[in-house]
Amino acid sequence: MSLEFSSWLSDQTTSDEIRLLRRVGGMEAKSTQFQTMEFAKTAAYGDVLVLDDTIQSSEVDEYLYHEALVQPAMITHPDPQRVLIIGGGEGATPREVLKHPNVKSLVMVDLDRELVEFCQQKLPSWHQGAFSDPRLELLHTDGRAYLAQQEAKFDVIILDITDALEEGPAIALYTKQFYSLCQQRLTESGVMVVQGFSLSPLKWTEHATIRRTIHSVFPVVRSYSIFIPSFACTWGFIIATNNIDPANLSHGEIEQRIGDRNLADKLKAYDVVSHTGMFGLPKDLRLKLAQLGHILEDGKPLVFE
């Protein structure tokens, strides 16, 4: 069987693997000051957003990623009223936060104005009107600089940022010094959550390095994961607090918070069962994540090991 590659979207999932998705429509591409972005229609995953040649989000399964990123952190906090998102350009991350009626203020800081405006236009099923919610304040500036200038504190900080490439603008958002700044800007029961790269027994070093770096600042750090079909892998997340262990929340606590906030009918993937399951990592992976190693710091080379 021969393939006409011009009708296929390529996605390099690791340094040793690549896959192809059949396109069923044209592709719209654009470069911003910070990244290249493409919008394509595929047979398997519907509309797909591609950033710097990597699939970022797909119409069919974006809810898996965004519910996994947002909901465990929001449920871990007993009453999240003031929330900060750094990144989140598609608009699905604020969509998930704003499902919580106790949220009074949501600040979203995304450096790339062009990306956000592109997503507002092209991805209405992602943001579902979140950008028009009066609780949302949208800023286009450097996330770290914004935090450094803040005096007010947040109940939840969500870091939905691009992968930490050496030459990328997000590198300063993966260091010990930045996580320390986040800790200083959290309330006493505050929660921070980070998207944490692919996570499996075969690909775990990036996640482990970020987790280790966060653990050098926060006393309570937990990894969890969910399989994302459009990513072709299990994706990891890292949640950190000063005093609350999200993995030890009782079923009753989780169910009560979901019920009190009228979330059950608004969530497709997340509930008390999936909360518990996401924190259940395999034995060999838990042992790998417990190893000692490198910590990311300002002014030092970006090394994942």
pLDDT score for 5: 60
Cα-based distances in Å from 4 to 7, 43, 82: 6, 15, 50
pLDDT score for 273: 98
Q: By CB neighbour count within 10 A (0-12 exposed, 13-18 middle, 19+ buried), where does 295 fall?
A: middle
Q: Return the biggest CA–CA distance within the chain.
A: 62
Query: Is 169 labeled as ligand-binding?
Result: yes
Residues of the chain with CATH 2.30.140.10: 5-57
190-203 per-position pLDDT tens digit: 999 999 999 998 88
The secondary structure element, H or E, covering residue 182 is helix 176-184
% of residues, the chain, pLDDT over 70: 96
| Chain-centroid distance, C-alpha 50 | 15
Helix, coil or strand: residue 214: helix
pLDDT score for 256: 98
Nearest alpha carbon to residue 238 among 219, 217, 224: 224
pLDDT at position 4 over 60: no
List active site positions: 160
Among 35-39, 40-44, 87-91, the minimum mean pLDDT is found in: 35-39
Query: Is 38 labeled as ligand-binding?
Result: no
Q: Which fold has domain 62-289?
A: Rossmann fold (3.40.50)
CATH number 2.30.140.10 given to 5-57? yes
127-150 per-position pLDDT tens digit: 999 999 999 999 999 999 999 998
pLDDT at position 1 over 60: no
Query: Is 298 labeled as ligand-binding?
Result: no
Query: Is 110 labeled as ligand-binding?
Result: yes
Query: Is 124 labeled as ligand-binding?
Result: no
pLDDT at position 163 over 80: no
Query: Is 150 labeled as ligand-binding?
Result: no
pLDDT score for 79: 98
Q: Classify strands 154-160 and 82-87 as parallel, antiparallel or unpaired.
A: parallel
Residues of the chain with CATH 3.40.50.150: 62-289
Q: Classify strands 36-42 and 154-160 as parallel, antiparallel or unpaired.
A: unpaired
Average of pLDDT values for 74-87?
A: 98
